[in-house]
Structure 1
């Protein structure tokens, strides 16, 4: 087995068996290609079946000069997954990454916005323009439901269950979850549907897609980032704000107002609650209130 065939089989495994998104698959494949490029540049003749720990360690050392610790960890994690797949399929007996340690990295707390800052961003939307109601509905949905960008752009009309107060979302690994949606967000989505979307020339294949561009096609991830960036610039907000910031704010505000961490995990679609626990570090000002009101030794 050479690197090309191994990478093809691994890609198929990531798509079909693990059900990863195209962006996640591309990231995993890129990690392996970096190792392949290293071997080629240094004229090292090793197949994916006989490459050893020493050779991999040399590669890790070389990228440590170019990448920050977080990016190094990303590559190491990707290679561990690749070689684990080869072991799992009985192509190899051992994983050469087993004894390779990832660099220690600090936990970066995500930026969040206050309710006033979110209101200020929404106030910058020009509702006199055709896309104004759509953009307002987009921001309200990102914040009101805590969606990832990929989940937002793939949201369909058939995913809206407003009578029950829920929307259905397809997250990472094609896993579906139901998320409560408030009346305010429902109203903005309905307003967009009735006043803007209904007047578009919707292209074939996009009839069920909720958020569309002016040409009647699905919005791209890049367009959502552009919408947010322009609002931040207009508001003069001195924060690093992306569409994901609204998701962080959604979780942080729920936690600050006493929501259960497990419930937040389910709404965010986190596989592990340890991922959700990062929001415990964002604002501890409410913890004293909880302690004084609920602990038996208060």
Structure 2
């Protein structure tokens, strides 16, 4: 009797790991089965913040989740999170709302990451993320401005006013460096190397989280030198500031660009990203190569740069006329 008591009270030192993987997942899921969709996403966001993602990326996750909640109209329990429901949301964006493939894919990729997290953490038993994939999309031309439109836009800016002078410097710097507006507005005065003609983007301010150095043309280097000297009494660490020395806000600048475009009579969209597109396109048209452009833009792979290469194909006929192989045969100056 005493022996039996000892055996019953003896602590088990080794686990009997005979549960199947599916049973283990079910056991874990039962423990956290009361989590709702919003609570799962809250944990997901904590995890993503702990990864040290850029604030812009974090904001993107929050924004796209908000779109999903708008569609659902309420919170969900674990049992209500099914493949059919999320496929229906994808169909709603494509066919009911008529969103562009780009818009749909941005939201789908974010949703895929969230659902994968939920499955791997055992919040849900079904690998819904496997069925939620981006849609095939054509490589569309990006919005860009013509050189004469840029000149027209710059012509409406009055250099006698500091804010318009500053905005002119920003526009030309964006075109020259092709930096994202968030990256450029985070640049500090010490990040500008006028001697070597470059701007350094710190890793925690860029989308890829990898710092990179952007080359500056002689014209932009000279312009930035003059601007830095003029703003030396602002006592701000940031390069681009308001008239009273505070860090410039992206939204404020976007509004100003639309006002300048309207004043210049430009009907196209004029935004910071349009300047990035325009700079990339003109870089290639001026005989720049795609691989150096990829590094300047901060793209992880060349496929992201490919759309700019595609846009330059409109200029292929003129280039072919100049560099056709037959010119080497029949040109008067060719060797007989």
User: Normalised by the shorter chain, which TM-score bucket?
Assistant: 0.7 to 0.9
The 3 A distance-change label for structure 1 pair 232 and 52 is same
Structure 1 consecutive aligned stretches of length 4 or more whose deviation exceeds 6 Å: 294-298
User: Which residue pairs with 2:292 in the alignment?
Assistant: 263
Residues 173, 90 of structure 1: alpha-carbon distance in 2 compared, 3 angstrom cutoff:
farther
Who is 1:21 aligned against?
54
Please give the per-residue CA displacement for 1:220-276, whole angstroms capped at 9, x wherever unaligned: 111221232222122212222211111111111111122111110000001121111
Aligned to 2:149: 117
| Structure 1: 5+ residue stretches without partners | none
> For residue 149 of structure 1, what is the aligned residue in structure 2?
181
Aligned equivalents of 1:194 and 1:162: distance in 2?
A: 12
Q: Output the CA distance in 1 between the equivalents of 2:311 and 2:212.
A: 25
Question: Which ranges of structure 2 fall in alignment gaps of 5 or more residues?
Answer: 1-34, 329-336
| Cα 1:296–1:8 shift into 2, 3 Å | farther
SS class of match (1:178): strand
Q: Distance in 2 between matches of 1:220 and 1:98?
A: 39
The answer on 1:97 being equivalent to 2:129 is yes
Aligned partner of 1:78 in structure 2 is 110
Residue 176 of structure 1: which of 211, 214, 222 is its match?
Answer: 211
Q: How many residues align?
A: 288
User: In the alignment, which residue of structure 2 is the partner of 1:232?
Assistant: 261
State the 1:187 CA deviation: 1.5
- Single out whichever of 6-15 and 184-193 deviates more from structure 2: 6-15
Over alpha carbons, which structure has the higher Rg?
2
Give the stretch that moved more between structures: 213-222 or 162-171.
Answer: 162-171
How far the C-alpha of 1:94 sits from its partner, in A, is: 4.6
- In structure 2, C-alpha distance between the alignment counterparts of 1:239 and 1:40, rounded to whole Å: 36
Query: d(CA) in 2 for partners of 1:30 and 1:248?
Result: 24
CA deviations 1:99-146 (Å, max 9, x no partner) are: 235444443311212223222222221011122331221111111111
3-state SS of 1:138 partner: helix
Q: Which residue of the other structure, out of 278, 290, 293, is the alignment partner of 1:249?
A: 278
Q: CA RMSD in A?
A: 2.8
What is the distance in 2 between the residues matched to 1:175 and 1:214?
A: 31
Q: TM-score scaled to structure 1, two decimals?
A: 0.84
